[in-house]
Structure 1
Amino acid sequence: MPLDGQTQTLNRIYKDRDAQDVLAHALSSFGDMALVSSFGAESVVLLHMAAQIDTSVPALFIDTEMLFAETLDYQRDVAATLGLSNVQVIRATRDVLFERDNENLLHLHDPDACCALRKTEPLQKALLGFDGWISGRKRYQGGERQALDLFEVDRPLGRMPRVKVNPLARWDSGDLRDYIATHNLPRHPLVAKGFPSVGCAPCTTRVGSGENARAGRWRDQGKTECGIHVRDGGAQRSA
């Protein structure tokens, strides 16, 4: 069955199933799968679920070299706490960074190009060895994510389509808090300081009372996605 038909069928079958069931199916049914994680504010939930199934699951962590120091520390702490043995740190190469952003100022005048250089391109290269990947996106985060399916088809430009799975698509912030509390999981240290969504340090600000959790990402820049989540070759963004 073509991949589009497979994902449509799976979305019907799993529409009322637990996130753990969705993740287990993803890891057992599509060949080599990678879990892509920012090790951000909510990432520990999906990472913990994966560790309960297989601690050797490939977990791809993109180090843009502009992350908060707290995120780098948290990544190491979470991996050790959960026993994750296959965390793969992804970075742009020195040569590419020197050629396109030798002063580390690209984010100031072209944040899309900076995200492409430091996140999208390294990830797409890393994913070449996998049949599909797993993300932690959720509908409650807003924008186009409001219509997010559990199973979808990822169509990177110039590459064969592959499956993309979003086990937490139906979860909200309360579900995440409850899961973290139930399993006594470590929280990202910046959450308590007003950062409910954590990206690169130059492009992430604190979020005020009543604001969307992602309001602090690329504030006032008309940008809501880094570009690693694409649809038919284009970055998924909210209006």
Structure 2
Amino acid sequence: MTVISHGRTRRAALMSAICALVVMGTGFTGCSAPDPDEGTNGVGKLPAETIQKRTRTAAKSAASVRLSGTVVSNGATYTLDMRLRAGGGSGSVTSKNGTFQLLRVDEHLYLKADAEFWDQQDGKEDGGSPAAVANTLDGKYVKVPTGDPAYKRFSGFTDKDMLLDGLLTLHGTLATDGHHEQSGVRTIRVSGDNGSGGTLDVSLEGTPYPLRLVRAGNAGTLRLSDWGKDFALSEPPKEQTVDYGQQLPSS
């Protein structure tokens, strides 16, 4: 796909150069630049509001997606690399406390991290020392109780529809902002308030999936890929799982 797209770009540049030479040499004015929407899915010719509706519909109907990049939420910055589908998701999250793995299968949410991550908690929940708790949980899938604050905070990172509903919203007056390219795929960019309300690159090839999102207010940049590609999602082995009870160690 990258080769094809780059080929189109080179051909377009060549045609523009030829046209410029013809115009300068002969005064002929009938030569025009190639249509940037030629051979596309056509959404580049639509109003910005319609493009946003089309891409939100496409994202919601897709069976799965991979989401990677940064998100700023409640003053905290998270670096995500998550694969999401109906019924859950899995992947890694990096915060100021370190990197941890998230896995959700239906309503069961698990958090997996190393001893260094868990060593930041205070050890009061089970009366043990921080080091003892950290060694117990090191490399284990810790089941997060639904009533624990961590469940509400992190389960959203594994919920495809909820996450995309919150992310794929541009603020302010919408407008198209030219043709671009993401990972070799031609896109049309939609912006809110000239970019201050965020920008969204929408695929011009095949289904109009969102491919890149720059959130308003410097709240992060995300790439969206692997649309519709299935992946395995199952409960972790029991021998690798720890059920910590009613509340996780604070961290």
**What is the TM-score when the length of structure 2 is the normalising length?**
0.24
Q: Which has the larger radius of gyration?
A: 2
Q: 1 or 2, which has the higher helix percentage?
A: 1
Q: 1 or 2, which has the higher strand percentage?
A: 2
**What is the TM-score when the length of structure 1 is the normalising length?**
0.24
